[in-house]
Structure 1
């Protein structure tokens, strides 16, 4: 059968949300669901390079309010529980008995939460840069490591958000309805996150944007989720790791990831015996870091043969 590399559609998730879904690869191949990061970033065609179109049948889904899903940037009825329900409804609609779950960063958060809720639906999990969705991880990344490695950006954050609880302050500014408030806050957050995402970032400073510069989408969804602890109970994903028993997994970790460092991934691996921890040396958070894409492609290939 001809690969469905160009087939896409909108899936009615209810509550006013229509999810953009793109199918890629061999309908008779190993089913895979790809979970993008952010939250809020959406899928892109370049992510197809992770998969073998002859071996895999990949479901790329833009989560609520992300990518091409409608309405854009909508935070109404948009929580982790809603996203888990969407994935399971989509799997059943596509009549896929089980699928391989692939994700990075926020995609690992959602992937773990989904697998813990629906373990029987998972062939395996290939997860890159594990984020357990905790406030402690965010404080460590955007306060401790930001101030250590990028003090100028940290100073810009404090100047904008104040000394007390700067993360909550900047997130609330991003969600402020006044464009005079949220535009500059969103661009600052975007610049900070980009610097922390790469081992050798192209820019380590915050720059002012023109009044008509298009706003990045992810800061708004991230602010909503992060203010609400990713709509998870404290430590939930680690405490419920036992629900992953029997599911094979490969945890891919860049050694010098400033956003999602090895400690979180190692903590998960210690509670999930079926998971194999693999390191990519001399690499940062982004999937575009040297060696990361190839390592993730290999992890997907290996789990496809289990």
Structure 2
């Protein structure tokens, strides 16, 4: 298996106004004459970093990445107004047109897999290949598993601070209870709820807990955008028409070569969704990594992702 590539230099970067409210940060790296690929980060509310450039051979790929509305270097921070799946799909198209790219590979994990699929199903003629990891299809059972009852049974110790932050009489709907606090008029209330929300996810992201990752997730500004945006999208059911939309629209991307990379022990986005997606896409390959959880930076999962991009690197 291949190793992660060295961090390449940033070639271009900028801030692009995409609405009366939002400006998004974008950047490019690698070979400007190479195969275009866009990296779609997770969350919603995560953001990109130099590490997320390392899945692509910088000699072969023209790498594009951006911070989605409300997070990372995009402004305004943690803003949920005018912030939907379809706004982000439109932002990706704006970036493609701004960079004069005709077609590109789309690469995304977790929520990034959701947005990658939504983009590809909206603009299938613009996508040369798909690489998706930690598949999340935005169905009610997936959200219930992680934010109400399911993953909590595997990690009761990590769950307890998240659960106990909410009074007993509100615990039958934890997402709604967190929404009240994350969008409170009191910034201190927001930050305390955001830290509990973000640390819960960070605590179960890896096969073996990564203390540095958990600490990073607790950082107040990151946690606020991460928690508010995730909650906003989850409470609005991803802004999809119905919960099986991404599966039902697989016929639109049936011809796009797709590699699905999934950690066997991913407890945030269990393997069932990746398996179902693979069953709907005849031109897809499912790679289940036997010793990995959710994070793209689990060593064997990262290697599988690099194998996937290397496989597509020389496609015309």
TM-score normalised per structure 2:
0.89
How far off is 1:83 after superposition?
Answer: 0.4
Listed as ranges, the matches of 1:224-239 within 5 Å are 224-233=232-241, 234-239=243-248
RMSD: 2.1
Q: Deviations over 1:35-61 (max 9, x none)?
A: 011111111011121111110001111
- SS of the counterpart of 1:144? coil
C-alpha separation in 2, matches of 1:268 and 1:305? 25
Gaps of 5+ in 1: none
Selected match of 2:249 from 226, 237, 240: 240
C-alpha separation in 2, matches of 1:21 and 1:214? 20
- SS of the counterpart of 1:130? coil
C-alpha separation in 2, matches of 1:194 and 1:46? 17
Selected match of 1:282 from 274, 291, 308: 291
For 1:148, the equivalent position in structure 2 comes to: 153
TM-score normalised per structure 1:
0.92
Alignment partner of 1:187 is 2:195: yes
Once superposed, which parts of structure 1, at least 4 consecutive aligned residues long, lie more than 6 Å away?
Answer: none
- SS of the counterpart of 1:126? strand
**Is the 1:4–1:26 Cα contact (8 Å) retained in structure 2?**
no
Gaps of 5+ in 2: 1-7
How far off is 1:281 after superposition?
Answer: 1.0
Selected match of 1:103 from 108, 118, 125: 108
C-alpha separation in 2, matches of 1:52 and 1:95? 21
- SS of the counterpart of 2:132? strand
Selected match of 2:300 from 283, 291, 301: 291
Alignment partner of 1:268 is 2:277: yes
Q: Deviations over 1:218-277 (max 9, x none)?
A: 111111111111111221111111111110000000000000111000111111101100
**Is the 2:262–2:271 Cα contact (8 Å) retained in structure 1?**
yes
Deviates more, 1:173-182 or 1:221-230: 173-182
- SS of the counterpart of 1:260? coil
Selected match of 1:70 from 75, 84, 89: 75
Aligned residues: 300
Deviates more, 1:174-183 or 1:97-106: 174-183
How far off is 1:215 after superposition?
Answer: 5.5
